Structures are given as C-alpha cells and as structure tokens.
Amino acid sequence: MKRRQRNLTENSAQLADARKGGAGSPDKGEPLFLAVGSLRRPHGVKGEIVMEVLTDFPERLKVGKTLFIGEERQGMQLSSLRWHDKALLVRFEGYTDREAVGRLRNALVYVRSDDLPALPEGEYYHHQLLGLTVVNEAGVILGALEAILETGANDVYLVRGEDGSELLLPSIAEVILAIDLERQQILVRPQQWW
C-alpha cells in the first residue's frame, strides 16, 4: 500500500487528535491543512526564500497558487518558484526584499487537504489513515493508528491501545488486510513470532 504524501510528526499528532475530537482539532467545517514545505532562510536580496519540500507532489506548487504560511495559516500567493539543489526558491506576493521575507523563516507551508490530487484505488494519504481504529480478524479492537513510521523497506504503523500499549505493524499485504475509510477501520493480521 503506497502513501504519496509525507506529514510532519507535529501534524500527524494534530490529525490524530482531530479524529478523536481532542485538543487541536479543527471546528466542524474548518478545512484541514497539510504541510508541503518548510521555509528556511532568505536567498538573495529580492524576496526569495529557501523552501524545503515535504510533498511528493511539488509540481502542484505553481505561480498564482495560494499557500498557507505558519500556525496562523496566513494565505499568501506564490509569485515565483524555481528549483535550487533539492529545495525550492519561492517568492510570495508583496515580499520584495530579504528582510521582509526573513520574518517567515522556519514557518511551515500548508495546502488545504481538499486541494490534494485524488489517488488511485488502494493508495492513501497518511492523514486519511491516522486515527483509524485497528481491529484484528476476530473483531478485537487493538487500538488506533497513532503514527506512520517511514522506513526503507515499508511503512510501519504505530497502533496505540486504550491501555497505552504500543503495537508496531509493518504495512505489508500479509499484515494490513483491508482499509475501510467509510467505517474508519483497518483490518489487520498481526504477525506471530515464535
């Protein structure tokens, strides 16, 4: 099962809280935001800033697109962008010098979750899975998906039980049997270690 968007740990926790109705959850009808970049340092003197890319879809960031900056999710229109090594150099409408854009340093860059491209069947964004109830084949609730750890071979799901226990499940077909977004449930067959 492929995941096509990475989320920062901070956002993953907020999304899980949102599903449980806990602290940090958006009000009903309020859009969910996902991090696509992190602003680093000004570049040059004309208002450009280095943006670390945190999305698998950087091609969707285009001149004229509104991005949401920082914890306040301030909407800013992208006026230019270009690749610089493995990062993007971006400029926002109204920011024309190094000093002004420097105030955005270390801010996260977000897009609205409803602005994400649709994925093929069987592929999911991390934010769609976080907070889902995890059950085994006998129908026993094992907990809720709290985090997705990205490893070299496959993702690993961190499931938190109601008693605070942790269960790690590799995201492979033999273990993750089905994902049902409508029922908010993941059906699993935990591996048996002898």
Those residues with Cβ within 8 angstroms of residue 28's Cβ, 6 or more apart along the chain or in another chain: none
Those residues with Cβ within 8 angstroms of residue 64's Cβ, 6 or more apart along the chain or in another chain: 77, 78
- What per-residue confidence (pLDDT) applies to 30? 55
What's the alpha-carbon Rg for the chain, to the nearest Å?
A: 19
- What are 32-45's pLDDT values in tens digits? 888 999 999 999 99
Beta-sheet strands, E only, within 13-61: 33-43, 48-53
Between 29 and 101, the higher pLDDT residue: 101
- What are 10-61's pLDDT values in tens digits? 344 344 444 444 333 454 445 688 899 999 999 999 999 999 999 888 988 9
pTM for the whole thing?
0.65
Those residues with Cβ within 8 angstroms of residue 27's Cβ, 6 or more apart along the chain or in another chain: none
Question: Is residue 9 predicted with pLDDT exceeding 80?
Answer: no
Question: What CA–CA distance (Å, rounded) separates 15 from 139?
Answer: 25
> Please, are residues 31 and 127 in contact by the beta-carbon 8 Å criterion?
no
Look up tokens 């499931």; give the residue.
159
Coil, strand, or helix at residue 140? coil
Mean pLDDT of 167-177: 95
Question: What CA–CA distance (Å, rounded) separates 53 from 69?
Answer: 14
- What per-residue confidence (pLDDT) applies to 73? 95
Mean pLDDT of 133-155: 94
- What per-residue confidence (pLDDT) applies to 173? 94
Mean pLDDT of 122-136: 92
